[in-house]
Amino acid sequence: MRTIEWDEGTVTIVDQTKLPDETFYLSMTKCDEVASAIQEMKVRGAPLIGVAAAYGLALTAYHSKAKTRAALMRQMETSAKTLKGTRPTAVNLFWAIDRVLSKARGTIGSAKTVARVVVDEARGMADEDVEINRKIGANGSKLICDGDVLLTHCNAGSLATVDYGTALGVIRTAWEAGRKIRVIATETRPRLQGARLTAYELKRDGIPVTLITDNMVGYAMSQRLINKVVVGADRIVRDAVVNKIGTYTIAVLAHEHGIPFYVAAPTSTFDLAQASQDVVIEERSRDEVSYIGSERVTPAEVDVLNPAFDITPMKYVSAIICETGVLSPAEFLQAASA
Ligand code: MRU
């Protein structure tokens, strides 16, 4: 199944907090449940939280008892506010909510008509996500050669999208085309998306993967164990790529070792109106750092810093792989200033 599905007013997701040990399908019929699933990272990854939010609005519309179009729009605005308050950094969340709202606002007709249009829009966005990831894969795989060892960070795979993935989409396409490649995945403290999700996805698909802890990247690069990096993104602003905490360290190390650093993301992740100083970096609970599983590994009262994302200046980026092609930072900047 895809990572998220819609069926007659029910949204079903794979609860990613339970992977890799348990594949638990969580079914939801209320937008508030979708908002909690996003906040608690049962669904995660920029493209997927965008589609999940669109489906959250679709649930509000589908189950609404509003008699008028105006009353339905008020309910949708309330749901949109709740969804936008879940996670601040991935721009796809805001992009998806605004796209669905604007479609609803532009629809003339009864509450029922608007509800139908909203559901269709959300379903269309889910299908579109898969098509876009396939295109990202096709564009990016041209950069991958036989014998490459690719480092990826966090999880930018089918679990972070509706299906196929962005950074892992590039790796998948290269693998499916017969390229003999290997992947090094970072564990991605503190939520372990690399250890739990990327390692799980790649093993499931039979793509050779070796797991390292985040602090082994410098060693692995210095020993020439890695020759390309490909990561996803949560927001690409005019001057930087915002992605999972640890990405910046990897990019600087790649630069130091002359290793290409690629970012794979759909254009819905582009936020050309903003620059790095405008981005809100999500700060998550101290417990994510002080606990490993259910065990506290730190002194009880130690101060903890837990930013979920960091900012990689464009000078460290070799290229951005999106559904329209492979953009050099200069081409990206040209698009940004157009
Ligand atoms: O906090 P998460 O797990 O939602 O963060 C996910 C990432 O940082 C991914 O690298 C990014 O969203 C790209 S996913 C295709």
Phi, psi (5° rounding) for residue 214?
-60, -35
Which alpha helices (DSSP H) does the chain contain, by range? 31-39, 46-63, 69-84, 91-105, 111-141, 167-176, 193, 199-204, 217-222, 247-257, 287-290, 329-337
- Return the closest-CA partner of residue 119 out of 78, 75, 61: 61
Distance 50 CA to ligand 1 centre (A): 12
Q: Whose CA is nearest to atom 15 of ligand 1?
A: 156
Instruction: Inform me whether the pLDDT recorded for 233 exceeds 80.
Output: yes
So what's the pLDDT on residue 251? 99
**DSSP string computed for 291-331:** EETTEE-S-TT-----BSEEEEEGGG-SEEEETTEEE-HHH
Instruction: Inform me whether the pLDDT recorded for 287 exceeds 80.
Output: yes
Confidence grade of residue 304 (pLDDT, cut at 50, 70, 90) = very high
Instruction: Inform me whether the pLDDT recorded for 284 exceeds 80.
Output: yes
So what's the pLDDT on residue 333? 86
Distance 1 CA to ligand 1 centre (A): 20
Ligand 1 binding pocket (C-beta < 6 A) is 44-47, 90, 154, 156, 160-161, 166, 193, 232-234, 243-244, 308
Ligand 1 atom showing the smallest separation from residue 166 Cα: 15
If one counts every other C-beta atom within 10 angstroms of the C-beta of residue 120, the result is 12
Instruction: Inform me whether the pLDDT recorded for 337 exceeds 80.
Output: no
- What are 145-168's pLDDT values in tens digits? 999 999 999 999 999 999 999 999
Determine which one of 129, 163, 234, 271 is catalytic.
234
- In the numeric block, the tokens 């905490």 are attached to 245
pTM: 0.97
Q: Is 139-337 assigned to CATH 3.40.50.2300? A: no
For a mutational test of ligand 1's pocket, the pick from 16, 89, 155, i.e. the residue with the most ligand atoms closer than 8 A to its C-beta, is 155
Yes or no: say if 268 and 50 are a contact pair by the CB < 8 Å rule: yes
Residues in the chain: 338
For a mutational test of ligand 1's pocket, the pick from 234, 270, 284, 288, i.e. the residue with the most ligand atoms closer than 8 A to its C-beta, is 234
Q: Does 234 participate in catalysis according to the annotation?
A: yes
CA distances (Å), origin 41, targets 48, 74, 183, 260, 273: 11, 27, 25, 30, 27
Domain locations in the chain as residue ranges: 4-134, 139-337
Distance 233 CA to ligand 1 centre (A): 7
So what's the pLDDT on residue 217? 98
Gap between the Cα atoms of 119 and 204, Å rounded: 32
Yes or no: say if 73 and 105 are a contact pair by the CB < 8 Å rule: yes
So what's the pLDDT on residue 219? 98
- What are 236-251's pLDDT values in tens digits? 999 999 999 999 999 9
Confidence grade of residue 27 (pLDDT, cut at 50, 70, 90) = very high
Ligand 1 atom showing the smallest separation from residue 232 Cα: 13
Distance 32 CA to ligand 1 centre (A): 22
Average pLDDT over residues 38-60: 98
Instruction: Inform me whether the pLDDT recorded for 335 exceeds 90.
Output: no
Q: CATH topology for 4-134? A: Four Helix Bundle (Hemerythrin (Met), subunit A) (1.20.120)
Distance 70 CA to ligand 1 centre (A): 35
Ligand 1 atom showing the smallest separation from residue 282 Cα: 1
3-state secondary structure of 236: strand
Average pLDDT over residues 210-224: 98
β-pair type (309-313, 240-244): antiparallel
Gap between the Cα atoms of 184 and 263, Å rounded: 16
So what's the pLDDT on residue 229? 99
Question: Residue 299 contacts by C-beta under 8 Å, 6 or more apart in sequence?
Answer: none
